[in-house]
Chains A and B, each alone.
Chain A
C-alpha cells in the first residue's frame, strides 16, 4: 500500500464516520420558564429523531441579543437555531440573514397561528421565525384593594379610570401604591411601556417622512400624564423599576395595579412565589378613546440563520417545539397552566386550557387587539407596537428612555425631556439617512 492509497483510505473512513455521526444542533435561547421547560422536554424530540443531538446555549436576554446579532451579522455560524423576538425578525429577514421556514411539515398548521403574532414574523408573505410563545400587556390589579376602595374594574378600562383608581388606592403610610409602572431606562424597559402607552394617547414616534414627533401635543399629554400619575400614586424610586422590580413589588402586595407583560400573570398567580396569588384580577390595557389600546405585542420565536448547513434538521426541531403536539406534551407532563401561551388559536379553544388559565381570555384579547403593522392612531412608516423595527432603535430607544427616566425622577421637566428626545431622534435619524 503506497502513501496515496493510505491517505485516500483514511480520508474516506473519516468521511464515513462523519456521515454516520449524529447531527448536532446548537440552539441559542433566553432564560425564561417556558424555554427552560422546552430544554427539559427535549428528550421527546431526540427520542423521535435519534440522528439529531441538541446543544443548548442559554443566556440572559440582553447578552443573548448581543451575542446572536454579532454572530449572524458576521456569518459566524455558531448557532443553528436562534431565539429572537418580533423586533429582530423583520430587520434580519430584510437583510437576508434568516431562512424562510417552508419545510415545517404537513402537520404544522401554519393557519392555526394567531394572526397578530404571525404577521409580526412574516416578511413578503414568508414566515421567517416560528413563535414559541407570545405575549401582550394588560392590567393586573388587586381585587381586594379595589373592593375596599369601592371600585369596580371594567374589562376594558380607560386611562382616566386607571389614574383615578390608582390615586384612591394609594396609602403611602402602609406602603401601598396605586400603580406600578416601568421607569427604568432602556428600549425594552420603560420605552416598551411608554411607546405602547403613547399609541393609546394618539402619539407616534415618526410621521410618514420619518420626522420625529416628540414636539407634538400627543407626546406631551402622554408623558405628562405618566409622570404626574407616578408621582402621585407610584412607588418611591420608580425611575429605576423595570419588569423584575415591579414584579417583586406586586408579589409582595405593594401595588394596587401593574400594567405589564401578560407573561407576568402566571407569576403573580403562583402561590409559591406570590403573596397575593388569589387576589389578582385582569383587564385589558387602558385606552383614551382614540381607538388604540396601550398593549404591546412580542413573541419569542425560533429562527434559522441563512447559510446554515443543518437547515433541514433545524426546521424539524422548530416544527416540534412550536407545533400543536408540543402544547399537548407540556400539558401532559406539567399541566395546562404551564403551556407556552399566545401562539395558537387552537389552544384558546381548548376548554381544559380555559379552565386551568384564568388569564387565557385576557391574553388572547390583548394579543388580538395589537396590530404591529398599524400600531398608532395616525399612520406610521414603521412596524412594531412597543418598538420601531429599525436597527437604529436599540440605541435611540435607550437614549430617549434615559431622558424620560430622568423626567420621572424629577431631574428634568417633561418639556425638557421631550425637547431633548426630539433633538436626539432628529440627529440620529438624519445621521442614519432616514431624513433627507
Chain B
C-alpha cells in the first residue's frame, strides 16, 4: 500500500528537489548566458543575469578562429569508437565473470578497478614513449585505444552487475536447446541486458567525450577533439571568459542533447536491478 504523504510534505520535497536540480544545473546555465555577453559584461560586478545586450559575436569569433567541425568529428570518432570497442571486449568478460565465476573472480574485478586508482599523469611518460614508438601520437586510433583501456574497468563492472541480475537458468535453457556460446551471448543474453548495455554505452560515451587528460596530451593538430578546442580558449593572462563560454557551450551541446534524449534509458539502466 502506498504511504500517505501530505500535500505539504510533497511541496517541500518538490521544492528541495528543484533547488538541488537548479544548483547543479546553474554552472551550465551561467556558461550558456555568458557566451552571449561581451567580454566587459562577462566580468561585470554585480553580474547581469538576463538583461544585457545579447550578442552572438563570440560564436562567430570562435568559429572563425578554429575549425569546430574537425574537433567535433574527432570527438565523435574517439568517444563512440572507444565505447563500442570497449563493449566488444567487456560483454564476453562480464559474461564469464557473472555466469562462470571462479574463486578469484572477485579479486580480478577488484584488480581491474584498482587500475583506475592511479593518477594518469603517473604513466604519462611511458605511455607517450609507447605512442611515439608505435606511431600512434596524434592519431584517432591511438586515442580510441587509450580511452578503451581506461574505461574498460567501468564498462566491465557495470555490465557485470547487470548480468548478475539475469537468471542463469535462461542461459542454461538456451544451451539445452543447442545454442553455441556465441549464440547464447548474442541472441539470449544481450537482448535481455539491453537496458543495462544501453546505459553503459551512454555513460561511457559521456565519459570519453569529456576525458581531458589523455586526449590533450596525446593529440596535437590532427586528432585533437573538443577538449583541445576548449583548452585553446582558456588563458591565465587575459580575460576571454565570453569566448571561452561560447567554445564550452559548443563543445558540450552535442553530448547534452544526446543525454537529454536518452535520459529515460539512462535512468532505467542505472536503476536496473535495484528492486530485488
Contact = CB atoms under 8 A, between A and B. Distances in A.
Given A30-B235, A31-B240, A59-B231, A272 B40 contact: yes
Contact of A59 (B44, B228, B240): B228
A244 B238 contact: yes
Interface string B116-144: 00000000110011001000011000000
A174 interface: no
Contact of A61 (B38, B129, B237): B237
Nearest to A32: B238
Q: Is the interface of A mostly helix, strand, loop or mixed?
A: mixed
Given A36-B65, A63-B216, A74 B129 contact: yes
B236 A188 contact: yes
Which bracket fits the contact residues of A?
35 or more
B236 A61 contact: yes
Contacts of B125: 70, 73-74
A82 to B, nearest CB: 11
Interface in A53-68: 55-63, 66-67
B13 interface: no
A391 to B, nearest CB: 14
A189 B40 CA distance: 23
A243 interface: yes
Interface in B216-271: 216-217, 220-221, 224, 228, 231-240
B235 A28 contact: no
B238 A267 contact: yes
Contact of A32 (B39, B217, B235): B235
Nearest to A61: B236
Interface string B24-46: 00000000000000111001110
Contacts of B234: 31, 60, 63
B232 A248 contact: no
Contact of A76 (B39, B128, B231): B128
Contacts of B216: 59, 63, 67
Contacts of A74: 125, 128-129, 132
Interface in A244-282: 244, 247-248, 251-252, 254, 261, 263, 267, 272-275
10 pairs of A and B residues whose beta carbons are closest in the complex = A58-B232, A60-B234, A248-B43, A78-B220, A55-B221, A31-B235, A76-B132, A243-B237, A273-B40, A63-B231
5 contacts: A57-B228, A76-B137, A242-B236, A243-B237, A251-B40
Interface of A: 26, 28, 30-33, 36, 39, 55-63, 66-67, 70-71, 73-79, 188-189, 242-244, 247-248, 251-252, 254, 261, 263, 267, 272-275
Interface of B: 38-40, 43-45, 65-66, 124-125, 128-129, 132, 137-138, 216-217, 220-221, 224, 228, 231-240
